[in-house]
Amino acid sequence: MHQKKNKIIIGVGAATFFFGFGAPAILNLYLLSINSPLVLQFRSSLMYISSIFGDGMILPIVNMLIVSSLIKNQEFISRLIVFLSLFFGLIITLYFHITQALHGLVNWSMPKPWEWNFLGAWHTLYMLIVTSLISLFYIVLILNFKKQKKLHREAVLITLGIILFLVLLKVDYIGTKLI
């Protein structure tokens, strides 16, 4: 059972890396090699610190810690909790994408305000999954805290990782009010 848990945890880290950074980076390099206007005229994933270090390193580690914590606290997970997590993930994802469009923050996934392409849909789905997982962690953390009256060390590490990611995001968008 321990080996299965480790495979799940490592799988989540690998999936987070691949879908958040790996595949977009490979596409970014390919589009550069063919001189695509999409990467020559717009910012792409390899131009964002939050993509390289956030999606490439921080979020895979954070998500691995989250899944490890969730496995230990499965008793708090129900259909209602999963639904609430998806709801909060959707709200967070919509907030960031609407803010991007309202501020005209065009890039290779939204070359015109309010017009997302395949990359925009990819990022939206990825962000929805990640923010839903993070939401699930915090809901379970609150339920667990109510029961045990104790905050676990991984909660601090996960929160610091998320804060670091948000700082990197802010660095990418200095001068823009996102959060």
Give the integer Cα–Cα distance in Å for 160 and 106: 29
Question: Residue length, the chain?
Answer: 179
Long-range contacts of 146-151 (CB under 8 A, 24+ apart): none
Single-letter residue type at 33: S
- What does the pLDDT look like over 108-160, one tens digit per residue? 999 999 999 999 999 999 999 999 999 999 999 999 999 888 788 899 999 99
- What does the pLDDT look like over 102-119, one tens digit per residue? 999 999 999 999 999 999
